[in-house]
Amino acid sequence: MSKVLEVKNLNKNYGDIQAVKDVSFDINENEIFALVGPNGAGKSTILKIVATILNPTSGEVLINGKNIHHNADSIRKMISYLPEEAGAYKNLTGIGYLEFMADIYADNIQQKKEYLEFAKEISGLKDRLQSKIATYSKGMTRKLLLARTVMSRPKLAILDEPTSGLDIMNGYEIRTVIKNLAKTGMAVLLSSHNMLEIEFLSDRLALINKGVIKTSGTAEELKMKNQAKNLEEVFMKIAL
Q: Which of 108, 131, 153 is the last residue of a domain?
A: 153
Residues 93 and 193 in one domain: no
pLDDT of residue 116: 97
For residue 28, pLDDT over 80 is answered with yes
Q: What is the pTM of this model?
A: 0.93
Residue 231 or 96, more confident: 96
Q: Which of 138, 153, 168 is the last residue of a domain?
A: 153
Residues 44 and 74 in one domain: yes
DSSP 197: H
C-alpha distances in Å from residue 137, one per residue of 32, 44, 132, 199? 27, 25, 11, 26
DSSP H helices, 65-137, are 72-76, 94-105, 109-123
Per-residue pLDDT of 102-148, as tens digits, reads 999 999 999 999 999 999 999 999 999 999 999 999 999 999 999 99
Q: Which of 153, 187, 205 is the last residue of a domain?
A: 153
Q: What's the structural domain count of the chain?
A: 2
Per-residue pLDDT of 207-229, as tens digits, reads 999 999 999 999 999 999 989 99
Residues 209 and 95 in one domain: no
The answer for residues whose C-beta is within 8 angstroms of residue 96's C-beta and 6 or more apart is: none
Residues 72 and 116 in one domain: no
Residues 8 and 98 in one domain: no
Residues 123 and 198 in one domain: no
Query: What residue type is assigned to position 101 of the chain?
Result: M
Per-residue pLDDT of 55-74, as tens digits, reads 999 999 999 999 988 888 88
Looking up residue 24, the CATH number of its domain turns out to be 3.40.50.300
Residues 108 and 187 in one domain: no
Residues 72 and 95 in one domain: no
DSSP 165: T
HEC profile of 44-73: HHHHHHHCCCCCCCEEEEEECCEECCCCHH
Per-residue pLDDT of 139-184, as tens digits, reads 999 999 999 999 999 999 999 999 988 888 999 999 999 999 999 9
Residues 147 and 159 in one domain: no
pLDDT of residue 201: 92
Residues 57 and 160 in one domain: yes
How far apart (Å, rounded) are the C-alpha atoms in residues 59 and 117? 39
How far apart (Å, rounded) are the C-alpha atoms in residues 194 and 60? 28
Per-residue pLDDT of 72-81, as tens digits, reads 888 999 999 9
For residue 9, pLDDT over 70 is answered with yes
pLDDT interval class at 239 (50, 70, 90)? low
Question: Which structural domain range is residue 120 located in?
Answer: 85-153
pLDDT of residue 38: 84
Residues 185 and 237 in one domain: yes
Residues 115 and 180 in one domain: no
pLDDT of residue 1: 64
Per-residue pLDDT of 183-205, as tens digits, reads 999 999 999 888 888 988 999 99
Specify which residues 189 forms β-bridges with: 33, 158
